[in-house]
């Protein structure tokens, strides 16, 4: 049986092209499963997974939990806000206590970049990064590429622009790694203050004119401003940001061609994207969420096969 080259999913940076293909092929199978009347398979009846979230989440948390349950794994959920972390317990102590209850896999979201990598070095379990600060969000990038493949037939050769707060976005970094690995052409677009200085060294081009970027691309992935990570003001006002970097229906309709609109969520309607664009036929935002379950089933299934 084909297997992943890694035993943790810490970032797209650690995957190769074959890993991504294997995840997509496995997700194709699980997508078919979750569209049946009986949406569950017994594959992981002997696996226990802890979802530990130190940061808020709607899509990722629910999607992982559903993916694990669809695979018949036992699932426990941990939210830092209601835990003994509030009494001063460390991350390693917290996770080791959870693991002593015979847990095999940990899915973790944490505000600190590299927290998953740190954990993988110190505890004996398979670790899945569900977003670590402004670093990586690998399953989001996988489901994004999978959704592009589903919509446009392939990722190779497609032109993708990632728009918005690139500096603080784990979604941007993981998407850049994933898209480049699959042979897509990538541009980033946003205020210069929200574009990291090293960005071109990742093999992406910079475009600060949104109209030009949209006219160039096949797909626009619109990101929200990560207000929770802004320590200073990076642009004068939200209104001015929206005028320069928000996509609305008038702009979309004035382009040379019909492009695909993506967004990882949560959306700030009226800031980076208007409702008539988010809810338009060109938007695949809810397809991304749907595909997230199949992708996470694939990731968990493939990692679990390395535990046994
Ligand atoms: N896309 C994403 O990570 O959304 P949540 O923060 O709701 O999980």
Q: 289 CA to middle of ligand 1, Å?
A: 10
Tokens of 178: 């994933």
Q: Kindly give the number of the ligand 1 atom that is closest to the alpha carbon of 58.
A: 7
The whole-number pLDDT of residue 111 equals 95
- The rounded Cα 230 to chain-centroid distance in angstroms is 20
| Residue among 136, 141, 173, 266 to mutate when testing ligand 1 (max atoms within 8 A of CB) | 266
Q: 171 CA to middle of ligand 1, Å?
A: 10
The whole-number pLDDT of residue 19 equals 98
Q: How far apart are CA 170 and CA 93, in angstroms?
A: 26
Residues with CB under 6 A from ligand 1: 57-61, 131, 137, 140, 264-266
Q: Kindly give the number of the ligand 1 atom that is closest to the alpha carbon of 55.
A: 6
| Residue among 51, 54, 57, 64 to mutate when testing ligand 1 (max atoms within 8 A of CB) | 57
Q: Kindly give the number of the ligand 1 atom that is closest to the alpha carbon of 265.
A: 1
The whole-number pLDDT of residue 82 equals 85
Sign of CA dihedral 175, 176, 180, 185: positive
Contact 152, 158 (CB under 8 A): yes
Q: 57 CA to middle of ligand 1, Å?
A: 5
Nearest CA to ligand 1 atom 4: 59
Contact 134, 113 (CB under 8 A): yes
Q: Kindly give the number of the ligand 1 atom that is closest to the alpha carbon of 109.
A: 8
Contact 260, 219 (CB under 8 A): yes
Best CA proximity match to 137, nearest among 9, 50, 297:
9
Best CA proximity match to 188, nearest among 238, 247, 196, 15:
196
Q: 56 CA to middle of ligand 1, Å?
A: 8
* Beta-bridge partner residues of 76: 50
Alpha-carbon separation of residue 242 from 59, 182, 191 (angstroms): 25, 31, 11
| Structural domains of the chain, with CATH | 12-136+289-304 (3.40.50.1370), 138-284 (3.40.50.1370)
Q: How far apart are CA 207 and CA 244, in angstroms?
A: 12
Exposed, middle or buried, 127 (CB in 10 Å: 0-12/13-18/19+)? Answer: buried
* 65-110 pLDDT per residue, tens: 999 999 999 999 998 888 899 999 999 999 999 999 999 999 999 9
How many other CB atoms are found less than 10 A from the CB of residue 32? Answer: 10
Q: How far apart are CA 166 and CA 170, in angstroms?
A: 8
Question: Whole-prediction pTM value?
Answer: 0.96
The whole-number pLDDT of residue 235 equals 87
Q: 182 CA to middle of ligand 1, Å?
A: 23
| Residue among 53, 60, 228 to mutate when testing ligand 1 (max atoms within 8 A of CB) | 60
The whole-number pLDDT of residue 281 equals 97
Q: Which residues of 1-23 are buried (b: 16+ CB within 10 A; e: fewer)?
A: eeebebebbbbbebbeeebbebb
Beta strand 126-132 pairing with 74-79? unpaired
Sign of CA dihedral 152, 128, 169, 278: positive
Nearest CA to ligand 1 atom 5: 57
Q: In the chain, which residues have pLDDT < 50?
A: none
The whole-number pLDDT of residue 308 equals 63
């Amino acid at each position: 049986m084909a297997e992943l080259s890694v035993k943790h999913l810490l970032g797209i940076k650690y995957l190769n092209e074959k890993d991504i293909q294997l995840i997509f092929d496995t997700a194709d199978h699980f997508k078919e499963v979750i569209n049946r009347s009986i949406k569950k398979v017994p594959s992981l009846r002997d696996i226990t997974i802890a979802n530990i979230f130190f940061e808020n989440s709607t899509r990722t948390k629910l999607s992982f939990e559903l993916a694990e349950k669809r695979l018949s794994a036992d699932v426990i959920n941990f939210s830092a806000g209601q835990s003994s972390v509030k009494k001063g317990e460390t991350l390693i102590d917290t996770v080791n206590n959870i693991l002593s209850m015979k847990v095999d896999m940990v899915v973790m979201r944490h505000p600190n970049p590299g927290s998953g990598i740190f954990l993988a070095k110190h505890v004996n379990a398979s670790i899945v990064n569900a977003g670590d600060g402004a670093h990586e969000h690998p399953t989001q990038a996988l489901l994004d590429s999978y959704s592009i493949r589903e919509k446009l037939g392939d990722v190779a050769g497609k032109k993708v622009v990632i728009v918005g707060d690139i500096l603080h976005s784990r979604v941007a970094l993981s998407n850049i790694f994933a898209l480049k690995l699959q042979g897509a052409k990538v541009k980033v677009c946003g205020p210069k203050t929200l574009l990291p200085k090293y960005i071109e060294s990742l093999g992406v081009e910079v475009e600060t004119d949104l109209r030009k970027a949209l006219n160039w691309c096949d797909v626009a992935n619109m990101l929200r401003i990560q207000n929770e990570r802004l320590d200073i003001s990076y642009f004068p006002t939200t209104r001015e940001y929206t005028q320069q970097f928000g996509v609305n229906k008038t702009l979309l309709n004035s382009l040379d061609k019909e492009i695909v609109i993506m967004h990882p969520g949560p959306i700030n309607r009226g800031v980076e994207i208007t409702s008539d664009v988010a809810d338009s036929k060109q938007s695949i935002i809810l397809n991304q969420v749907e595909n997230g379950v199949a992708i996470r089933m694939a990731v968990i299934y493939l990692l679990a096969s390395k535990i046994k």
